[in-house]
Structure 1
Amino acid sequence: MTRKTIAAGWTQERLAKLRTRMQQQYLDALVIPRWDAHQSEYVIERDELLAWASGFSGTWGLAIVTLSKAALFVDGRYTVQASGEVDTSSFEIRHLYDEPPQRWLAENVGKSDVIGFDPLVVPPQLYSSMKAALESKNARLSAITDNPVAGAWKDRPAAPTAKAFALALDKTGERSSSKRHRLAAALAERDADLLVETQSDNVAWLLNLRGRDIPDNPFLQTFALIDRDGGVELFADHDKLDPKTDFELENVEIMPKDQFMTRLKERSAAQSTVIVDPKFGPSAALLAASASGATAKVEPNPLTLLKARKNLKELNGIGRACKTDAFVLAHLFTWLEDEVPKARAEGRPLLEGQVELKLQELREQQEDYVEPSFRPISASGPNGAMCHYNAPEGGGAPLGGDALYLLDTGGQYLTGTTDTTRTTVFGEASEAQKLAYTLVLKGHIALATQRFPQGTKGYQLDAFARQHLWNEGLDYDHGTGHGVGHFLSVHEHPQRIGKEPVEVALEEGMTVTIEPGHYKAGEYGIRIENLFHVIVDEEGWLSFAPMMYFPICRKLLRSELLTAGEIAWLDDYHFQSRKRLIGPDLAPPVCEWLEKSTQPLAY
């Protein structure tokens, strides 16, 4: 059972069953986030509660169900998809940020209504905003341990059982004891006694362990309570940690995962100071501290920031993974250039899902490859306008003709994680499409070449990527860049580039994508994405250094719209790509494709 399958099986009967469970639990409304108790967008099938309750299969969003109404909140990546998947007679579709859920709650619940929420899933920031919105209605939020969706979902999948494994020092570049020592210093600096950690990738990084609980995410689902001396209580399924494995678990006490809430309440003792992240921690920690008289510091998690600053070993490993993935993509695009016109001529056009299968076949031939870092977005023509589209397995729309083709893909390698997007065409694009593509590239280059002072936040740079689109009255409704983990999550916090103010400065060693785009519903999607890391440009100033080198489609460009500086950047980027990728071990057809695709624009 997959997320798509769970969502596709939606009927109004599910909503009726859910409302019956809500009434049995004396709830007038229920908040159903897409993320899980680890505040992750990547969840196990068992936790696909939003897909089951609404029929929406996207990876981010939230629903609120009352006894008579319901609303689904999604961001700009999913507005088109949600409208096509969800029964709009049962759910209103709202924008997650422009029309936030707390506003809808205040408008649609009655006086003295009880609104249920899972305190492990809902973070403090959302909890506080909903609580404030309900004050005028005298309605109240009720923390629940028995989620009505879980109770109504009778064929809910079982939890995963895969074993954890250790990541060796030659990959991590730092022992777990050293990481915990640095974290302890950060906690002492904040005068905190306890850090409540529910983000599984943070725990995996801290303890140098990985797992296979979640598809495309090499970590296991864990919680942790971390003391100011660096001691850790790790809450995990004990049978996943084989004692014969060389885990770095000194000064770590392993406890059953289902004891986390009990220990959280016990450890939130009076006079203690507990740190919980406002966006990526559980409001359960806030409530536990309040009940015991402890002080809850709702502030950014110091562990998340430590993980974001990559050491040299991690950066080199990610660079190696990018180079391997570039070889994969070079083989794939060489094959596409030959296969797409041939298949169309033979009356058997190549389909989006077939490209995905070929991509996996090529990756599986690579050393250190583990799995995709997310399911590829292989999107032809109108499907490209759905930012997180997934093709039916082995099927989907045909490639070729004048349809733009967008491929957003990444791999999980033992050395690092990758994420790359390219847009191309196998026929002839329209002038309007070429204009949009050129504007997207100009924005990509503008941000990729931008120097900025230390202390700069991502949202302060976002407009550099949008400026040329804005000048033509165009835009895109998603972020411009996100962090990428070291053999961890492809969407890593806290660094981000986007319109939304995220008060985290970009720092040396952080990885971040740059991925402006443009989408025309019903027609096409355009995105150009590369992975970069932040470097010191000169004292007090930072800049971006590319980690992924792979040709950017020249066929879609209107080169007369590029400045001399933009042309020089693109030609140098292609020269560096050619230099890094072409070699004696590469098959001649792939070398030829790379040579052709990386020629200077004047060629």
Structure 2
Amino acid sequence: MRQNFDVKGGPQLGRQNLPRLRDAMKAQGLDGFYVPHEDEYQNEYLPACNDRLAWATGFTGSAGAAMVFQDKAVIFADGRYTLQVRDQTDPDLIEVQGLPDPGPFGWLARQSLKDKTVGYDPKLMTPNDLATLEESAKKAGVALKAVETNPIDAAWDDRPAEPMAKVVPQAVQYAGEDAGKKRAKIADALKEDGAEAAVITSPASVAWAFNIRGGDVACSPLPLSRAILKDDGSADLFLDPQKSSDALREHLGNQVRLRPMEDLEPALGELKGKTVSLDPALASAWFFRELEAAGAEITRKRDPVLLPKACKNDTEIAGTEAAHVRDGAALTRFLHWLATEAQSGTVTEIDAALKLESFREDLGDLNDLSFETISGAGPHGALPHYRVSSASNLKLERGTLYLVDSGGQYLDGTTDVTRTVPIGEPSADMKRHYTLVLKGHIALADVRFPEGTTGTHLDTLARHPLWQAGLDYDHGTGHGVGVYLGVHEGPQRIAKPWNSVPLSPGMIVSNEPGFYREGQYGIRIENLQYVTPPESIPGGERKMLGFRNLTWAPLSRDLIDLDLLSPAEHEWVNCYHAEVLEKIGPLVDGEAGDWLKEQCQPL
């Protein structure tokens, strides 16, 4: 079992650890301290040793922050975690506020805290966030202090050890390109920008640029690492020596100097007088401080690895397609189980999550889940990022909907798929809302668009059917996905907020509109798809890009209201199901295979 359903956070952590933190703050002359969720690597998933916000408050959500003072503490979490944050924190000790409004910086700006000193850890904050904190502190009348030792680290007596998983080569048969050639292209890009080196702070970027993978972070095969890429194609790679091996050293070759993590600070000092590219959205303020102190000339540029990593090559696309077909077969077996055994009303959310995990395990090549399975029955389905625990575990009761969002990590690809299914007979409202979501999903799957189009331009397509009914959803419509890397990656995104990165051939994005009726049910339909090269359209004047689907698993035909589908949408569903049967059918036999054939019959 790869999932842990015993939540490790909870109010007891705040009751136990806030006094310790305050003692450590007092020893450093701090009246307050800012606690972000992010760690030194800005990872989405944190190793246990870096989950500082959970240690201090008990809140284990993947986004949030806290302001801790000697006489009060305030935690900030967004709408995804409204219930969780209140369940996991002690209301007598911690006040709950919203994120992003007011957010920690907005809240601080409204306080009157003259002559107070608030500390922050420059290794955990980007310079952009630090600038906002400085502005808020000025309005509140507080002095800011960058700490050398995080007071949480000082107070955390039983802090888990840092992960030390071995770093292994990612074969070219999966990567599609030699790592040396990748870095040579990045070196050429640095020269064009007038930079002599780039400091790469994101473990995902390091993993891609060096064709390596690790196991330091749950659900993402990442090695906790840093790198300095130079304009001659050579590089310094910073890893703990325990993670290395002869095979790794041979793989890296002579152009890469493998150095221990303790060498990172002096290595930054070696960049004195050089023009260095550094990403202010990914690198912490500490990197900027160290490079400025060393006398380097910093150019604030996007991580040069991000865009090449996002635009998958032919090998990566082929591998991802293969991974999705196998994964789709496992998911189809699970959907058959949901349609038969799980209709009893006695199956729980945890039972279902484990059953799906077992079907993926049966494939024989699952390396990890790509995230903790969102297994939401009834009202829990209305929480887009719900995480089931032994304390919250509901039964899949008849007359309700069940939402499952899950994925796997395979050597050749990363999957992420959501399906919503009825348990028992669905209501007319359930069918109507499901069909509106499906109409938005089809619109985004079928769109053609010119070069230069961003995800923001397309987001409205997925929402339009819901908007016409006076409905909406409060999360993004699509995120980038890696290839045996993170299930969430940039720089592309499909969402309401502005994204300046055009969708380009080879980019993988999710297509996941939804609808959530609080306290009753949630609906989301998610497939992954990738951007296809521009092609001419008969009678058209400009070449257009489009999307090619990656995810293959039947939709819930019992939830489709045919009267709401246009003829073109009706045909889309039939064509999709025909292709599901063609690709998945040979891999699913017995009763599940017979069920799949029924599900994929024309509407």
Shorter-chain-normalised TM-score: which range?
over 0.9
Aligned equivalents of 1:600, 1:98: Cα separation in 2: 47
5 Å matches for 1:569-584? 569-583=572-586
Cα distance, 1:455 vs. partner? 1.3
Aligned equivalents of 1:2, 1:331: Cα separation in 2: 23
* Number of the residue aligned with 1:456: 453
* Number of the residue aligned with 1:415: 412
Spell out, residue by residue over 1:142-189, the C-alpha distance to the aligned partner (whole angstroms, 9 max, x if none): 322311112222221112222111111111110110000011111111
Cα distance, 1:485 vs. partner? 0.6
* Amino acid aligned to 1:361: S
Cα distance, 1:588 vs. partner? 2.1
Cα distance, 1:140 vs. partner? 3.8
Aligned equivalents of 1:30, 1:160: Cα separation in 2: 26
Spell out, residue by residue over 1:282-311, the C-alpha distance to the aligned partner (whole angstroms, 9 max, x if none): 111222233344332223212111111100
Q: Does residue 283 of structure 1 match 2:285?
A: yes
Spell out, residue by residue over 1:497-542, the C-alpha distance to the aligned partner (whole angstroms, 9 max, x if none): 1122222111111100011111122211111100000112426421
Q: Does residue 200 of structure 1 match 2:203?
A: yes
Aligned equivalents of 2:113, 2:6: Cα separation in 1: 33
- SS state of the match for residue 437, structure 2? helix
* Number of the residue aligned with 1:311: 313
Aligned equivalents of 2:487, 2:6: Cα separation in 1: 19
Q: Match for 1:189 among 188, 192, 195?
A: 192
* Residues 137 and 357 of structure 1: CA distance in aligned 2, closer, same or farther (over 3 Å): closer
Q: Given that residues 451 and 537 in structure 1 are in contact (C-alpha distance below 8 angstroms), is that contact kept between their aligned partners in structure 2? A: no
Aligned equivalents of 1:278, 1:89: Cα separation in 2: 37
* Number of the residue aligned with 1:79: 82
Q: Match for 1:568 among 551, 566, 571?
A: 571
* Amino acid aligned to 1:452: F
Q: Does residue 383 of structure 1 match 2:380?
A: yes
Q: Match for 2:529 among 506, 519, 532?
A: 532
* Number of the residue aligned with 1:177: 180
* Residues 467 and 175 of structure 1: CA distance in aligned 2, closer, same or farther (over 3 Å): same
Aligned equivalents of 1:316, 1:268: Cα separation in 2: 40
Q: Match for 1:258 among 256, 262, 287?
A: 262
Spell out, residue by residue over 1:544-602, the C-alpha distance to the aligned partner (whole angstroms, 9 max, x if none): 1101111111111222111111111111111111111112x53221111111212222x
- SS state of the match for residue 555, structure 1? helix
Cα distance, 1:81 vs. partner? 2.5
Q: Which runs of 5+ in 2 are unaligned?
A: 536-541
Aligned equivalents of 1:542, 1:254: Cα separation in 2: 41
* Number of the residue aligned with 1:92: 95
* Residues 227 and 393 of structure 1: CA distance in aligned 2, closer, same or farther (over 3 Å): farther
Aligned equivalents of 1:24, 1:96: Cα separation in 2: 30
Aligned equivalents of 2:6, 2:544: Cα separation in 1: 44
5 Å matches for 1:147-296? 147-245=150-248, 246-264=250-268, 266-270=269-273, 272-296=274-298
* Amino acid aligned to 1:165: V
Q: Given that residues 3 and 45 in structure 1 are in contact (C-alpha distance below 8 angstroms), is that contact kept between their aligned partners in structure 2? A: no
- SS state of the match for residue 557, structure 2? coil
Aligned equivalents of 2:468, 2:65: Cα separation in 1: 33
* Amino acid aligned to 1:122: M
Q: Given that residues 118 and 145 in structure 1 are in contact (C-alpha distance below 8 angstroms), is that contact kept between their aligned partners in structure 2? A: yes
* Amino acid aligned to 1:110: L
Aligned equivalents of 1:138, 1:273: Cα separation in 2: 36
Q: Match for 1:372 among 369, 372, 376?
A: 369
* Number of the residue aligned with 2:588: 586
* Amino acid aligned to 1:199: S
Q: Does residue 446 of structure 1 match 2:443?
A: yes
Q: Given that residues 9 and 88 in structure 2 are in contact (C-alpha distance below 8 angstroms), is that contact kept between their aligned partners in structure 1? A: no
Q: Given that residues 218 and 487 in structure 1 are in contact (C-alpha distance below 8 angstroms), is that contact kept between their aligned partners in structure 2? A: yes
Q: Given that residues 268 and 288 in structure 1 are in contact (C-alpha distance below 8 angstroms), is that contact kept between their aligned partners in structure 2? A: no
Task: Give the RMSD, CA atoms, in angstroms.
Answer: 2.0
* Residues 64 and 231 of structure 1: CA distance in aligned 2, closer, same or farther (over 3 Å): farther
- SS state of the match for residue 452, structure 1? coil
* Residues 83 and 453 of structure 1: CA distance in aligned 2, closer, same or farther (over 3 Å): farther
Aligned equivalents of 2:262, 2:522: Cα separation in 1: 44
Q: Match for 2:477 among 477, 480, 490?
A: 480
Q: Match for 1:36 among 28, 35, 39?
A: 39
Percentage of identical aligned residues: 38
5 Å matches for 1:426-437? 426-437=423-434
Q: Given that residues 276 and 299 in structure 2 are in contact (C-alpha distance below 8 angstroms), is that contact kept between their aligned partners in structure 1? A: yes
* Residues 394 and 103 of structure 1: CA distance in aligned 2, closer, same or farther (over 3 Å): closer
- SS state of the match for residue 453, structure 1? coil
Judge which range, 204-213 or 219-228, deviates more. 219-228
* Number of the residue aligned with 2:538: none
* Amino acid aligned to 1:509: G
Judge which range, 26-35 or 170-179, deviates more. 26-35
Aligned residues: 593
* Number of the residue aligned with 2:113: 110
Aligned equivalents of 1:405, 1:516: Cα separation in 2: 16
Q: Match for 2:340 among 331, 338, 341?
A: 338
Judge which range, 185-194 or 165-174, deviates more. 185-194
Cα distance, 1:31 vs. partner? 1.8
- SS state of the match for residue 131, structure 1? helix
Cα distance, 1:268 vs. partner? 4.4
Aligned equivalents of 1:244, 1:327: Cα separation in 2: 34
TM-score, normalised relative to structure 2: 0.94
Aligned equivalents of 1:116, 1:109: Cα separation in 2: 16
Cα distance, 1:127 vs. partner? 1.3
Aligned equivalents of 2:591, 2:16: Cα separation in 1: 55
* Residues 117 and 518 of structure 1: CA distance in aligned 2, closer, same or farther (over 3 Å): same
Q: Given that residues 399 and 422 in structure 2 are in contact (C-alpha distance below 8 angstroms), is that contact kept between their aligned partners in structure 1? A: yes
Structure 1 stretches of 4+ moved >4 Å = none
* Amino acid aligned to 1:155: D
* Number of the residue aligned with 1:322: 324
* Residues 171 and 117 of structure 1: CA distance in aligned 2, closer, same or farther (over 3 Å): same
Q: Match for 2:513 among 513, 516, 522?
A: 516
Q: Given that residues 117 and 142 in structure 1 are in contact (C-alpha distance below 8 angstroms), is that contact kept between their aligned partners in structure 2? A: yes
Aligned equivalents of 1:88, 1:460: Cα separation in 2: 41
TM-score, normalised relative to structure 1: 0.94
Q: Match for 2:492 among 490, 495, 511?
A: 495
* Residues 480 and 500 of structure 1: CA distance in aligned 2, closer, same or farther (over 3 Å): same
Q: Given that residues 451 and 534 in structure 2 are in contact (C-alpha distance below 8 angstroms), is that contact kept between their aligned partners in structure 1? A: no
